[in-house]
Amino acid sequence: MHRSAVKLSGAGALLVAAAAVALTAAAPRGPLSELRVCADPYDMPFSNSQEEGFENKIAHLVAQDLNATVINYWWPSRRGVLRNSILAGFCDVMIQAPVGFDPVATTKPYYRSTYFLVFRPGHGHDVRSLDDTILKHLRIGVNIIGYDYTNTPPAHALGARGIVGLVGFGNFLNPDPNADHPEDIINAVAKDSIDVAIVWGPLAGYWVKRAPAQLAMVALPDSDPVSGMPFAFDMAMAVRHRDKDLKARLDSVIVRRRADITRVLEDFNVPMIQMHP
């Protein structure tokens, strides 16, 4: 799913006016000189202010293909991120969003991943699915995600099995970027603070590789037959609905540079599964 460099103070009226103008016009059809990217400055492996995340790398790859320059608009993946960034007109592109995410228009997908069970192998916590009865006796960590403080699909699936009292990581209502860190949930497993974590694939793959203890990952299926919740998602780029020309350009880049984009994801140990046709 962390601070913005833009604050509405003395120039607040000018910023609001600029956003209002941006909301009335679609992206230009001429040469694209700037790729204005919505980015989180504290959210590895996705992005950070040093541009070390895979979203940052993909953004520069796309901009290079379009002969444009990346301009980052930094805003946290916290509550209100959409209305304070892309929907406000301060940036034009989100480098990843689930396909079909209604508030924005999504491009062709460029990878698909799922959620993973993460645990320390050989410690009596080896689990293979959400139906493993041992889960009712374990300390389970989940991320709190979404733009309105919602639970992950696996958390809903566990609730449908009567498994509650989960340990939540990531407070998306807290504006303080130092309140939590993306790796906290993985490190909690490595340090035996929790027994099992259920984590989105890219986050799991990147931080498990860097954990202070050996950890195992088990993929969840595409969806859960008990709750009906999806676990796997096709991920795409996103623009405002009216920016059809920009969306078409991004679609073309994804087709042309798919192999390069995939290599970036592999470099970050992103676990990918086959996309649906």
The string of pLDDT tens digits covering residues 223-252 is 999 999 999 999 999 999 999 999 999 999
Domains (range + CATH), the chain: 12-112+234-267 (3.40.190.10), 115-219 (3.40.190.10)
Nearest to 270 by CA among 119, 72, 77, 53: 53
Weakest-pLDDT range from 49-63, 68-82, 97-111, 134-148: 134-148
CB 48 within 8 A of CB 42: yes
Nearest to 238 by CA among 84, 59, 99, 34: 99
- Sheet with 93-98, strands from edge to edge, namely 69-74, 34-39, 93-98, 233-239, 105-113
Gap between the Cα atoms of 241 and 265, Å rounded? 26
Residue 116 scores a pLDDT above 90: yes
* 122: Cβ contacts below 8 Å, ≥ 6 apart: none
* 171: Cβ contacts below 8 Å, ≥ 6 apart: 144, 179, 180
* 80: Cβ contacts below 8 Å, ≥ 6 apart: 147
Beta 216-219 vs 167-169: how paired, if at all? unpaired
Nearest to 229 by CA among 161, 156, 121: 156
CB 192 within 8 A of CB 76: no
Average pLDDT over residues 15-27: 40
